[in-house]
């Protein structure tokens, strides 16, 4: 059985005061059935790991450099992130792809570096609104799956997050049928490439305007193993109901 995963991506938000939100989640979800993950900004990662210690909340980084070390001013390696307390790293988020011109091959290289360092990777993918309207969604996802995911995965160290770009932070959510189609497609592609055993161990998350009011419906979809949540993860009072809904699914 795949353990459900509720992942919160704080993006470029948060200072020391926000660590109280992790403390609140830690206290509220002792014995949670689902795995709980918070990706704070890198500046908070180590302090967040101290706050989260001996509790149900694990930590993720929001990005990493592909290399182990070197003359890369401003970059952070996977080894450094692991040392700071991260157990996961989010890669290929649409905002990174857009803001930093990251392509599938860049995401793949970073994933290799992260896996080598012993981090689990959450690889994001999704289509633009124009691509959805042109009925090109599955072609886009197929290309991102093939190009972004390295060969050396064992199922346990990979999470795939489907985030339609047009749904991120907009309040728009794909229909149940649309989410089902994409998640079933991703699972089938993974099975074809890696075989049943590995593919069935990979958790598939949905991301894009997930909130307490729609979480139960989304988590009832087959092949949805949890969510990658943005804005609603910044406050424990908003994220906790999503975690509870996932525990009950």
Residues belonging to the active site: 93, 163
| Residue indicated by tokens 């149900």 | 56
How far apart CA 5 and CA 8 sit, in angstroms, is 10
Is the CB of residue 184 less than 8 Å from the CB of residue 177? no
β-sheet bridge partners, residue 200: none
Nearest to 204 by CA among 191, 230, 216, 186: 186
Nearest to 39 by CA among 57, 26, 20: 57
Nearest to 170 by CA among 211, 124, 123, 204: 211
Q: Which residues fall within 8 angstroms of residue 128, CB to CB, at 6 or more apart?
A: 165, 166
- Reported as half-sphere exposure (CB side, CA atoms, 13 A), residue 15 has a value of 1
How far apart CA 85 and CA 194 sit, in angstroms, is 30
State the first-to-last Cα distance of the chain, in angstroms, to the nearest integer.
13
Is the CB of residue 141 less than 8 Å from the CB of residue 125? yes
How far apart CA 184 and CA 179 sit, in angstroms, is 8
């Amino acid at each position: 059985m795949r353990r459900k995963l509720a992942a919160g991506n704080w993006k470029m938000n948060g200072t020391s005061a926000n660590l109280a939100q992790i403390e609140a989640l830690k206290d509220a979800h002792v014995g949670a059935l689902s795995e709980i993950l918070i990706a704070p900004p890198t500046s908070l990662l180590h302090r967040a790991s101290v706050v989260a210690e001996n509790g149900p909340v694990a930590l993720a980084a929001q990005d990493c450099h592909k290399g182990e070390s070197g003359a890369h001013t401003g970059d952070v390696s996977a080894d450094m992130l692991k040392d700071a307390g991260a157990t996961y790293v989010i890669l290929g988020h649409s905002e990174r792809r857009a803001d930093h011109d990251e392509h599938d091959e860049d995401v793949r290289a970073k994933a290799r570096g992260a896996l080598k360092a012993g981090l689990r990777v959450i690889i994001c993918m999704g289509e633009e609104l124009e691509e959805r309207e042109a009925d090109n969604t599955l072609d886009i996802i197929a290309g991102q799956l093939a190009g972004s995911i390295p060969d050396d995965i064992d199922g346990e160290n990979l999470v795939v997050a489907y985030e339609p770009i047009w749904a991120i932070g907009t309040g728009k959510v794909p229909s149940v049928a649309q989410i089902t189609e994409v998640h079933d497609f991703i699972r089938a592609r993974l099975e074809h490439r890696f075989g049943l055993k590995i593919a069935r161990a990979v958790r598939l998350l949905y991301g894009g305007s997930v909130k307490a009011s729609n979480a139960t419906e989304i988590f009832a979809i087959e092949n949805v193993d949890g969510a990658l949540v943005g804005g609603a993860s910044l406050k424990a009072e908003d994220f906790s109901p999503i975690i509870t809904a996932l525990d009950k699914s």
